[in-house]
Each structure stands twice: as structure tokens, then as C-alpha cells.
Amino acid sequence: MIPVKGFSGQKVAVLGLGRSGLTTVRALRAGGAEPICWDDNPAARETAEGEGFSCVDLRSHGVFEDIAALIVSPGIPHLYPAPNPVVTAAQEAGVPVDNDIGLFFRSFAGPEWNNYDTPPRVIAVTGSNGKSTTAALIHHILTEAGRASQLAGNIGRGVLDIDPGGDGSVVVLELSSYQTELARALTPDVAVFTNLSPDHLDRHGGMGGYFAAKRRLFAEGGPDRAVIGIDEPEGAFLAGQLAEGPTDDRVIRISVARKLTGPGWQVFARKGFLSEYRKGRQAGAIDLREIKGLPGAHNHQNACSAYAACRALGLAPRVIESALHSFPGLPHRSQIIAEADGITYVNDSKATNVDSAIKALSAFGKIRWICGGLEKEGGLDALSEALDQVVRAYVIGREAAEFAMRLKADAMVCTTMAEAVKQAMADALPGETVLLAPAAASFDQYDNFEQRGDDFATEVKSRLAKG
């Protein structure tokens, strides 16, 4: 655990007692603070009280008179679409509002670091798509290279739940826009921006607010090195803002859309080959085509980002290449769950928006596509650019019929996962891929995308077992 510094002997309010909230309360107490907790869920309050923490309704009048700070869990809005009343009350009382990410960055370093040969490093990864895979891939590469590494944030453990940094160790954080938008301290050694596409727009008041939340990772303190995907205008703009000139190798530009040239530091992938150029000369190259855990251009972008981050820490290209080949991929993200009779079954339940579904569809050949669910804002029109390889769509969800009508593809309304898998498996031919890439949220039928992906995997394996 990382004890929170700076609040010893002071009361600190914590709003939200989920995984990160409860960990925050423990870390505050470990640092000598007196945490005051609240969650609208009685069961969450009961859990906190069972550990000896005080729960006080933070909506009560005058509660912030002697509070030093309010720590807010990621899912609680502080501005858009409307601020939580507790956040408003804290701001009116002049109480600083922060989150566990901000507490981590102010508390991670310790006096023992003066005795280390190599101080601990933090790599933080943000973006719209691919950040989980990129963060996990960086962690995997570091571990395979013999570097002590911990994976935390929006993946793995909560940031305050990890072990203190050791000599030469690395913490890899996946950070969502919900986490970066509010943290009062953001000082990673290496920061990664994968890409940007519309998501969570109601929470951020539009695309500009969404980009601004991501940009804070690079603006609040500033990393020593920034790895920036420049295939969207926002990424290109961010790289331009951070670099002092064409030769500034503190910025590593990433692309899977084109070859990058110039005197700076670039990593790009074309036709399945990753290339690193520095000062106009090639410094490394990797054939990504046979790496099963990283199929498709979107995963090649993840590989470029992870490669660049690890190169920024001094790892050799061949060490990184070896680790890429042993990367198993993440559950629910282009995860191959079975191969039988020449047919490949892939679970990409994490493809919860149109952009991520397009990337999944572009990674395979002839596809039997299982899609549908709770549609996000923005519609489905953009999917048309990736439907050439779709033989047929099998649509699930409560609004499956309406979803199917808007697809510019041969579509079958199945409603349930069981029916979709049954029909797709019956139709699939050797050389084809049965792909779950919903392009929608899961909450109309499932608690989360993991449950949806598990249901798909269970149905596929059950039917394969029956022959």
C-alpha cells in the first residue's frame, strides 16, 4: 500500500466506496489522516464501517467546515453533465477536490529513493482505445526483461494498493479520462497517448472537454518523455505543443497510418512491420504479423506505443521483440478463445464503441460478426467503412431489430447471445472468423462487458464440446 502523504492529523472526505474508494480510505488512514466516508449504497457503507471507518452523509449542512480535502471516485461527475451535490458543496466551502490518482503522485516517492541506484519510474497510458492492452503489454515486456513492474490504475490493482517502489522498479498505470480530468498531481516519467475517438462525451461536455481531460496527463507537471499517437488531429496537435522543435526526442511520435520521417524520434507500423527511426536513421524493426496476441492494425498501434515506452526506459529492441511474441493478449480484447475446423473464434467484448469495433473488424478476414447492445451516441454510420469483410451480422440486445436495421450489412436478429452463437457457428465456413465486437455497451443485458464476453466464450466452448 502507498500511505497518503500530506494529511496527517487532518480530516479527509472520501465520496464513493467502490474498489478505488475503499483503497483510498485505507491509504489515508495509513498516512495518518482521519478519513470521513460516504457512499449512497448502504452495503458499501457497511463494508467501510466494518473496517472501523466513519461514514458521514457528506450532503449534510456544514460537513465541510473542518475537512482538508474531498477525494472523489472516478464514476462521480464533478462538472458534466451535472456536478454531484457533494462536489458542489466542497467547492463552495473552498475545499480542494482530488482523486486517488492525484494522491498517488503526491505520495509515491519516499526518502528511501535516495539510496537507490535507479529510482522507480511511472509510465502512464491514456487514450480512447487500446490503453488497457498497451499498459498490459508494457508491463509484460518489463517483466519478461527482468524489470520489477506493477500494473495498476484502470487495470490491475488500485494505484494506492500497490507496493512501494523498489530500486529500478516500474509502475505502469492505465488512466481513463475520468481519472486524468480531476487529479491535482500528474507527474509520470513517461506518458502515452494512444489515440482519440468520441466517447464519454456527456461526462466531458463534448469532444473538446474529452480531449482536454486526456491532455492534462501531459500538461500537469509534464513527463520526461511523451509517446503520442498522431493519426488523429488531436494527437498531432498535442505532439506539436509538447515538442520544442523537429529534433526534440522527448516526444516519440506513433503512427499506423503512414511512414514517419524527420530528425526526431518515431515509431510506426506499416503492412505488419514495426519500424523505429531516430535522428533520420532506423534503430529497430519487428515483424508483427505472426504475433498472435496482437492481431490487426489497432494492436500494431498498441505494440508501437508499448515499444516506444520501453525504449524510453532503455530496453533494447530485441528484448522487446522477444517479449511481444509471448504476450497472450487481454481477455475480451481480440482474444482468440478457440480454433476448430478452420474457424477462429474471437472475443472482443471490450469493443463497446463504433471506433473500437471498426478496429476489431479490420483485424480479420471473412467475419461472422456478433454485435449489438446499448447503442452509444454518434450512431452506427461510421461502421460502413469496415463492413466489406463481414459475411453476416448476428445482432443481440433488447433493441436488436432496430440495431440491425441501421447496419449496412446482411443482418440476422438473434437478440440473445446463445442464439447468435448458434447461428454464427452453423453458418461459418473454414477460413472465417466468428467475432464478438458489439459496437455497443453491455448494460441492456449484462452487468459489464466482461460478463458479455464470458457468455460468448461459454456458448462457443459448450457447442464445440458437443460437436
| pLDDT score, position 371 | 97
Instruction: Give the span between the Cα atoms of 373 and 251, in whole angstroms.
Output: 39
Instruction: Give the span between the Cα atoms of 190 and 227, in whole angstroms.
Output: 7
Report the DSSP beta bridge partners of residue 394: 370, 412
Instruction: Give the span between the Cα atoms of 166 and 149, in whole angstroms.
Output: 10
Of 275, 318, 436, whose CA–CA distance to 370 is shortest?
436
Query: What is the residue extent of each domain of the chain?
Result: 11-98, 105-325, 335-466
Helix (H) or strand (E) holding 89: helix 85-92
Q: Cell numbers for 85, please give them.
A: 451535490
SS3 state at 36: strand
128 assigned binding-site residue:
yes
**Cα dist from 338 to 186, 327, 463, whole Å:** 41, 17, 11
| pLDDT score, position 376 | 82
Determine phi and psi for 276, rounding to 5 degrees: -115, 130
132 assigned binding-site residue:
yes
342 assigned binding-site residue:
no
Instruction: Give the span between the Cα atoms of 230 and 210, in whole angstroms.
Output: 17
Using an 8 Å Cβ cutoff, are 317 and 311 in contact? yes
Provide the terminal-to-terminal Cα distance of the chain, rounded to the nearest Å.
49
What tens-digit pLDDT sequence spans the chain (467 residues)?
999 999 999 999 999 999 899 999 999 999 999 999 999 999 999 999 999 999 999 999 999 999 999 999 998 999 999 999 999 999 999 999 999 999 999 999 999 999 999 999 999 999 998 899 999 999 999 999 999 999 999 888 899 999 999 999 999 999 999 999 999 999 999 999 999 988 788 899 999 999 999 999 999 888 999 999 999 999 999 999 999 999 999 999 999 999 999 899 999 999 999 999 999 999 999 999 989 889 888 899 999 999 999 999 999 999 999 999 999 888 899 899 999 999 999 999 999 989 889 989 998 999 999 999 998 877 888 898 889 999 999 999 999 999 999 998 999 999 999 999 999 999 999 999 999 999 999 999 999 999 999 999 999 999 999 87
Instruction: Give the span between the Cα atoms of 28 and 23, in whole angstroms.
Output: 9
Torsion from C-alpha of 268, 273, 274, 280, nearest 10 degrees: -70
305 assigned binding-site residue:
no
| CATH match for 105-325 among 3.30.530.20, 3.30.565.10, 3.40.1190.10, 3.40.50.720 | 3.40.1190.10
| pLDDT score, position 290 | 85
Amino acid identity, residue 93?
A
- Residue range 335-466, CATH number: 3.90.190.20
Long-range contact list for 327-330, CB < 8 A, 24+ apart?
327/137, 327/140, 327/141, 327/291, 327/293, 327/294, 328/293, 329/133, 329/292, 329/293, 329/294, 330/132, 330/133, 330/136
Contacts (Cβ under 8 Å, ≥6 apart) of 126: 174, 175, 176, 177, 180, 191, 192, 193, 194, 214, 217
Instruction: Give the span between the Cα atoms of 190 and 236, in whole angstroms.
Output: 18
The neighbour count for residue 380, using CB atoms within 10 Å, is 18
127 assigned binding-site residue:
yes
Long-range contact list for 417-422, CB < 8 A, 24+ apart?
417/370, 417/445, 417/452, 417/455, 417/456, 417/459, 418/459, 419/394, 420/370, 420/394, 420/395, 420/396, 421/370, 421/456, 421/459, 421/460, 421/463, 422/459, 422/463
Question: Running DSSP on this structure, what letter comes out for residue 333?
Answer: B
Instruction: Give the span between the Cα atoms of 330 and 436, in whole angstroms.
Output: 14
The yes or no reply on domain 11-98 and CATH 2.120.10.30 is: no
| pLDDT score, position 156 | 81
| pLDDT score, position 274 | 98
Determine phi and psi for 400, rounding to 5 degrees: -60, -40
| Cα maximum dimension of the chain | 68
**Cα dist from 144 to 98, 139, 148, 166, 258, whole Å:** 35, 9, 10, 17, 30
